[in-house]
Amino acid sequence: MADPSDAIDPAAIARGLEQVQGRIARAERASGRAPGSVRLVAVSKTQPAAAIRAAHAAGQRDFGENYAQELAAKQAELAGLDLGWHFIGGLQRNKAKLVIRARVHTLDGVALADELDKRAAAAGIARVDTLIEVNLAGETAKSGVAPEQLAELCDALAGRAQVRVGGLMCIPPETPDPEATRPYFRTLARLREQHARVTRAGVDLVDLSMGMSADLEVAIAEGATLVRVGTAIFGARQPRR
């Protein structure tokens, strides 16, 4: 089987990264946002470590992974680089120990928070940064807390030993029209504004993780602070090995 690293084109990755950064900068200006107020998470799921090295060489530092075992393997392989890791996929409790050294965007319940707390304490990790995933469309195939249960979950997550909540995340229903995602992004921003008014220890709703390759401009206009972009940087996903 061919090594997927052989197909990596560092120059193409650098160009893709530059184009995405340009889109973010233009969207910030168009929305009256401060330059640099939006952080790019390069979604490197199924991409080989060589692709991450190429993006790192071009200046990218934050990377997102969807699969816990793949994240752990890449963290080990690329330990010598100054990388910020984000876990952005659905997370089963039995995989929690594999993601405690990343920022977890998909916290969706007390049981998962309990497991992250336990695994982090056992590993001597003082803090696990998380975002709460909100399932705005009620899609059964996606994880996330229902909007009407968000306040209760925030209350339950307050004062955790290791787990800290830093914002909200959503994945809108798939659509070919970027504008169709706007109502979901706007709703998430309103939820953050509403629930950030309540003071809870360890729950500080600052970030909004929303927007991907097709709709990042819409997400930024609605307040995104983190956008998750993969194909516009790396090209088509590599087959999982």
Name the phi and psi angles at 238, rounded to 5.
-85, 150
Give the global pTM: 0.95
Asked whether the beta carbons of 64 and 45 are under 8 A apart, the reply is yes
CATH 3.20.20.70 assigned to 39-54+61-211? no
Per-residue pLDDT at 1 exceeds 60: no
Q: For the residues 8-24, what does the mean pLDDT come to?
A: 97
Distance separating alpha carbons of residues 152 and 138, to the nearest angstrom: 17
User: What is the share, in percent, of the chain residues with pLDDT greater than 70?
Assistant: 95
Mean pLDDT, all residues of the chain: 95
- Over 80: is that where the pLDDT of 126 sits? yes
Give the tens place of pLDDT for each residue, 187-218. Answer: 999 999 999 999 999 999 999 999 999 999 99
Per-residue pLDDT band for 2 (boundaries 50, 70, 90) equals: very low
Q: What is the pLDDT of residue 214?
A: 95
Other beta carbons within 10 angstroms of residue 194's beta carbon come to 13
**Given this model, what pLDDT does residue 182 score?**
98
Q: In this predicted model, what pLDDT tens digit does every residue of 127-158 receive, in sequence order?
A: 999 999 999 998 888 899 999 999 999 999 99
Stretch 42-65: mean pLDDT: 97
Query: Does position 70 have pLDDT exceeding 60, yes or no?
Result: yes
**pLDDT at 232 > cutoff 90:** yes
* DSSP code per residue over 10-68: HHHHHHHHHHHHHHHHHHHHHTTPPTT-SEEEEE-TT--HHHHHHHHHTT--EEEES-H
Percent of the chain clearing pLDDT 90 (strictly above): 92
Q: Which of 5, 29, 23, 20 is nearest to 59 (CA)?
A: 20
